Amino acid sequence: MTVLYRPNMPISPLAQVKGIEVHRGPSKVLEGASVNLGAGEVVSVMGDNGSGKTTLIEAFAGILPLRSGEVIWHERGESILVRDSDGRRNPPPPMGLTLQKGGISGEETVSERLAVSLSVAGIHSHEEQIADLLGHWGLRHRSEERVANLSGGLRRRLSILCGLAPAVLSETPRVVLLDEPSEGLDDSAKETLKGWIRALSSRNHGILVATHDKDLSSCADRILTIEDRILSESAGESSGEPSHLPEPIQSSEQRAISSLIRWSIRMELRNPIETVGRATPAIVAILLSYALMMDYDLQSHDSRLLAALVLAPAFIASISSPALVSRLSESDCGRWWDAVSGPMARPAFSISGASILLPIPVTYLSWLVLSGSVDDQVSSEVLTWLWMPALAMMDLAIASTALHLLVSDLSRSSAAPAPLLLVVMVWPFLELTDALSSIIDNGMTWGLSIHDPLITCIVASLLSALVWLSAVLIPDY
């Protein structure tokens, strides 16, 4: 079915979707949809539940795969292909975004979240500016509290503020995408929202709002209605007095990926459940391995068992599901990062969320516990070169994290066979076992044979890299 609505091109377009077709599972939600968002426009999208309002917002943000069509953004006279049906994707220009579920992790503090929303848009604000913005929305007194401690209404206020602030403080016209922003707001906050939307429009920012709220739609210049995948347009009232907004500040280059990595590390340092959660099964594995090795005589047996048992705890720590996955799944936090960071979000998270600190200390601890029957000369040689397979285990950890992230992006991630995907990581583990076994038996050798320790470790790292590339580059059709 083809969409009948084909609006005229605005004089200064900021973003547009052209002939897009989007499916949610087996259902076709949008077909042939074309929408333009111009500078200074407020466009409201209305329709029944499931009609495609959220789908249109997320398509503009570039986080939905397209069956046909393309998403184009414009900045400083340049056109940027954000996404198309051939799988090509680029990060959008800095924008404001409020998802229907908020997109905020409960472990963030209120002021941190606002600062992060600004930093990914290239705006480096001061504490006074953060406090001023929070004060407009009645959040100044909760600035140092974690988002998880806020009521639903205050949490919604924060998510809306974080979507508006990158445009409020920007000197350059920006796109603001708001999905059901008035849900959960009281009357006072709704009036603030309407005033800020009209004020942003007067500064030439483009705002696209998906809503059921007819009162909020009254401040729109155009109203799009979706019914049976058909878009129709009507004129809006453009009512409402603009609010007084803080003055914009000069922005710098967008650095969403660096902000993403800093956020990931900060969340882990604040609540190190990932490190503790991965270290615990590794320590249990060391103790179980010690129990197995008590009566083991290395003089009359092959060293492969010892090598496997030494590396097994680090392997278990490496393939465990990172806490980052649960953080990203909370309130669509991962989808928000995916939108503002573009296609580099998953590669960056696979590195920042991987267990890259544990493999080396766990491997050395495992060797010290299990090598009691090894003579001192062999033990000294192994201790000198044990870092090599342990270092390659870090590559394995990054690849495993990428697989976990790939599964978490599926519509029914809890039903996906993630453990079966991780079976592929046994191959590089076996290569590392061969490398350590060779060092135990023959010492470190520098030949170029496929069975020499250095070459075997390189092969293991290459295998892990191939798995990583597959997990981060698979188009999400």
Using DSSP, state whether 378 is helix, strand or coil. helix
Least reliable range by pLDDT among 169-178, 273-282, 319-328: 273-282
Q: Are residues 151 and 17 in the same domain?
A: yes
Whether the full predicted model's pTM is greater than 0.85, yes or no, is yes
User: Tell me: the pLDDT tens digits for 437-468?
Assistant: 999 888 888 888 888 999 999 999 999 999 99
**Mean pLDDT, range 395-413, rounded to an integer:** 82
CATH code of the domain containing 73: 3.40.50.300
* Nearest C-alpha neighbor of 274 from the set 348, 310, 328: 328
pLDDT digits (tens, 9 = 90+) for 420-439: 678 899 999 999 999 999 99
> Is residue 466 one of the residues assigned to a domain?
yes
Whether residues 301 and 357 fall in one domain: yes
Whether 195 maps to a domain, the answer reads: yes
Q: What is the DSSP letter of 241?
A: P
Is the residue at 75 inside a domain?
yes
295 pLDDT band (50/70/90 cuts)? low
Instruction: Indicate whether 71 belongs to any domain.
Output: yes
Taking the C-alpha atoms of residue 92 and residue 99, their distance in angstroms, rounded to an integer, is 16
130-159 per-position pLDDT tens digit: 999 999 999 999 999 999 999 999 999 999
Whether the CB-CB separation of 281 and 360 falls below 8 Å is answered with no
CB atoms within 10 A of CB 366: 24
* 314, 230: one domain: no
Range of the domain at 136: 13-235
Q: Name 233's Cβ contacts closer than 8 Å, sequence gap at least 6.
A: 5, 7, 222, 223, 224, 225
What are the backbone dihedrals phi and psi of residue 226, each rounded to the nearest 5 degrees, phi first?
Answer: -105, 125
In a domain, 101, yes or no: yes
Domain boundary, last residue among 204, 235, 266: 235
Residue 311 lies in a domain: yes
**The two structure tokens encoding residue 323:** 């806490």
User: Do 309 and 393 belong together in one domain?
Assistant: yes
* Digit-coded pLDDT (tens) for 344-383: 898 999 998 887 888 899 999 999 988 876 777 888 889 9
Please check whether residues 330 and 398 belong to one and the same domain: yes
Are residue 130 and residue 262 in the same domain, yes or no?
no
Q: Which of 254, 98, 231 is nearest to 162 (CA)?
A: 98
The number of domains in the chain is 2
- Check if the beta carbon of residue 178 is closer than 8 Å to that of residue 60: no
Closest listed residue to residue 34, CA positions, set 67, 8, 61? 8
Roughly what angle, to the nearest 10 degrees, separates helices 426-442 and 453-473? 170
The CB-side HSE value for 16 (13 A sphere, CA atoms) comes to: 20
The first and second tokens of residue 350, run together, are 């696979």
> Mean per-residue pLDDT for 27-38?
90
Asked whether residue 8 is domain-assigned, the answer is no
Structure tokens at 113: 């979240």
State whether 301 and 434 are in the same domain.
Answer: yes
Asked whether residue 358 falls in the same domain as residue 426, the answer is yes
Q: Are residues 50 and 164 in the same domain?
A: yes
Using the 3D structure, point to which of 202, 235, 268 is the last residue of a domain. 235
- The DSSP call for residue 249 is B
Same domain, 27 and 94: yes
- Indicate whether 327 and 192 sit together in one domain: no
Residue 276, number of CB atoms within 10 A of its CB: 10
Same domain for 231 and 303, yes or no, is no
Q: Are 34 and 41 in contact (CB under 8 A)?
A: no
Last residue of a domain, one of 177, 205, 235: 235
Q: Is residue 43 included in any domain, yes or no?
A: yes
